[in-house]
């Protein structure tokens, strides 16, 4: 209940028995579940209207090609239904005081303008809303209304009205049988006492428009990997049909460009992003899987292939041998467009043969590196945490305390600390949960 004037308090929570997890992606969810399963209370704060993070957007996971949503969805319900987890979605941490065992966290609960208790997620309001805007969850490729859920498994299954685009016409109000619409609701700040905090704020993609030479934003048939994920996702804007954006054609030939916004000293991102090689190989394989009658050529242009995890190297070999993905070692120089058919021409040196190639692809997918979210800097200031030169959170000791931040009682997991794939994020989530519950068990003592 978050109606203005009806101040919600969290006095029922005891700091000695409560932890907060900031960020509801797969790492934060794991941390929340592991803490909650030890009979501590957990307040899980998520910035967007739903938990699930980036994993909810993905089509398949590597190297097993499991359906991402199939793994994640049961977890979403588990978190939502856990008696010890209190979910604060559409909320942001704006201030932290206190110390291990006794923190006070101020959380801004953005007005969702839909009563979380009353909304059943039926969606009756949606056809009545006259406003249509690009859906961020679909990387702006699909559309949503001003009253929306980003995706069908949205958790909690509660609609949100986006204040920026809502014209307050009141149509949703009229269409709602349960009187759940609260058009006049306002943002509200609450203070929550907790004994330990886990930061799991995830990542954002490198802005690939900073590489004009690769044509993103200029050429219609150049997209980035997360857009591709949504395109090939059955719940995405094309219903899982692989097609290119200029004319809706199924591409016969695809090119994947690696190391964009990663390992680039000139662009200020010297670090390896760790996940791009594998997610791109997976995406390359998926092109064959989805449209094997059409797709004839899938080429991946890389600087070095880093297939370091369990089953990764084998997956790469399978992509090469069984699916016929072509691997060309060479950082792409530039791309241009064939004006006649809107195909994308990739200029690259195959550094293994020394050949200069001009390869025409019907679709090119750029694989951006990952960065800490821009908001992490602010959040770390609130908490007195420090950031590394790459912008990710600093940990006490990378070798023996890899989830301990520099502030006692505050832990970190997932990509807030460094780029990680899903298994590593989950493992870090469990680790941070254990460290946080030790803090709680010891009443804040280190």
Question: Which parts of this chain interact with another protein (CB under 8 A)?
Answer: 211-213, 218, 259, 263-267, 303, 317, 320-321, 329-334, 336-337, 339, 347-356, 358
Nearer to another protein, 357 or 427 (CB): 357
Nearer to another protein, 117 or 266 (CB): 266
Nearer to another protein, 211 or 228 (CB): 211
Nearer to another protein, 107 or 298 (CB): 298
CB of 259 to another protein, least distance (A): 7
Structure tokens given for 257: 């460009």
Nearer to another protein, 346 or 395 (CB): 346
DSSP-assigned letters across all residues of 217-229: TTBTTEEEHHHHH
CB of 264 to another protein, least distance (A): 4
Nearer to another protein, 29 or 208 (CB): 208
The rounded distance, in Å, linking the Cα atoms of 190 and 350 is: 57
Helix, strand, coil in percent for the chain, rounding step 5: 25, 25, 45
DSSP state of 393: B
- Cα 412 to the center of its chain, rounded Å: 16
The rounded distance, in Å, linking the Cα atoms of 427 and 413 is: 8
Cβ within 8 Å of residue 363, ≥6 positions away: 221, 223, 244, 251, 253, 254, 255, 344
Nearer to another protein, 127 or 270 (CB): 270
CB of 347 to another protein, least distance (A): 5
DSSP state of 54: G
CB of 313 to another protein, least distance (A): 11
The rounded distance, in Å, linking the Cα atoms of 14 and 217 is: 50
CB of 91 to another protein, least distance (A): 38
CB of 419 to another protein, least distance (A): 17
CB of 127 to another protein, least distance (A): 41
The rounded distance, in Å, linking the Cα atoms of 106 and 269 is: 32
The rounded distance, in Å, linking the Cα atoms of 99 and 383 is: 10
Handedness of CA 366, 367, 368, 372 (dihedral sign): positive
CB of 277 to another protein, least distance (A): 14
Helices (H), 125-198: 171-175
Residue 414 exposure: Cα atoms within 13 Å on the Cβ side: 32
Nearer to another protein, 178 or 355 (CB): 355
């Amino acid at each position: 209940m978050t109606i203005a004037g009806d101040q919600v308090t969290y006095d029922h929570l005891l700091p000695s028995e409560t932890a907060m997890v900031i960020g509801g992606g797969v790492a934060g969810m794991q941390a929340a579940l592991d803490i909650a399963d030890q009979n501590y209370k957990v307040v899980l704060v998520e910035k967007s209207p739903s938990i699930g993070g980036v994993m909810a957007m993905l089509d398949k996971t590597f190297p097993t090609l499991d359906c991402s949503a199939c793994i994640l969805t049961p977890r979403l319900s588990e978190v939502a239904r856990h008696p010890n987890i209190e979910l604060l979605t559409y909320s942001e941490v704006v201030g932290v005081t206190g110390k291990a065992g006794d923190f006070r966290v101020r959380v801004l609960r953005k007005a969702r303008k839909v009563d979380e208790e009353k909304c059943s997620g039926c969606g009756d309001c949606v056809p009545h809303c006259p406003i249509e805007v690009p859906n961020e969850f679909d990387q702006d490729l699909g559309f949503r209304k001003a009253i929306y859920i980003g995706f069908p498994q949205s958790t909690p299954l509660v609609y949100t009205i986006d204040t920026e685009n809502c014209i307050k016409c009141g149509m949703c109000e009229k269409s709602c049988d349960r009187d759940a619409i609260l058009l006049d609701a306002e943002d509200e700040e609450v203070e929550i006492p907790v004994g330990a905090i886990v930061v799991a704020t995830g990542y954002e993609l490198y802005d690939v428009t900073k590489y004009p030479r690769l044509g993103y934003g200029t050429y219609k048939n150049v997209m980035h990997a997360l857009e591709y994920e949504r395109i090939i996702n059955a719940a995405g804007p094309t219903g899982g049909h692989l097609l290119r954006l200029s004319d809706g054609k199924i591409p016969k030939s695809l090119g994947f460009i690696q190391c964009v916004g990663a390992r680039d000293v000139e662009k200020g991102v010297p670090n390896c992003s760790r996940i791009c090689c594998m997610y791109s190989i997976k995406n390359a394989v998926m092109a064959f899987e989805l449209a094997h009658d059409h797709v004839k050529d899938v080429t991946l242009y890389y600087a070095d292939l880093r297939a370091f995890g369990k089953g990764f190297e084998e997956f790469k070999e399978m992509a090469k041998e069984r699916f016929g993905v072509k691997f060309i070692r060479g950082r792409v120089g530039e791309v241009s467009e064939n004006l006649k058919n809107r195909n994308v021409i990739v200029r690259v040196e195959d550094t293994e043969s020394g050949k200069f190639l001009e390869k025409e692809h019907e679709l090119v997918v750029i694989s951006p590196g990952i960065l800490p979210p821009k908001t992490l800097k602010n959040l770390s200031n609130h908490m007195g945490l420090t950031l590394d030169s790459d912008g990710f959170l600093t940990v006490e000791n990378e070798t023996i305390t890899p989830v301990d931040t520099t502030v006692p009682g505050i832990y970190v997991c997932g990509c807030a600390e460094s780029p990680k794939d899903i298994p590593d994020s989950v493992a870090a989530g469990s680790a941070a949960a254990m460290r946080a519950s030790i803090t709680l068990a010891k009443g804040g003592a280190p």
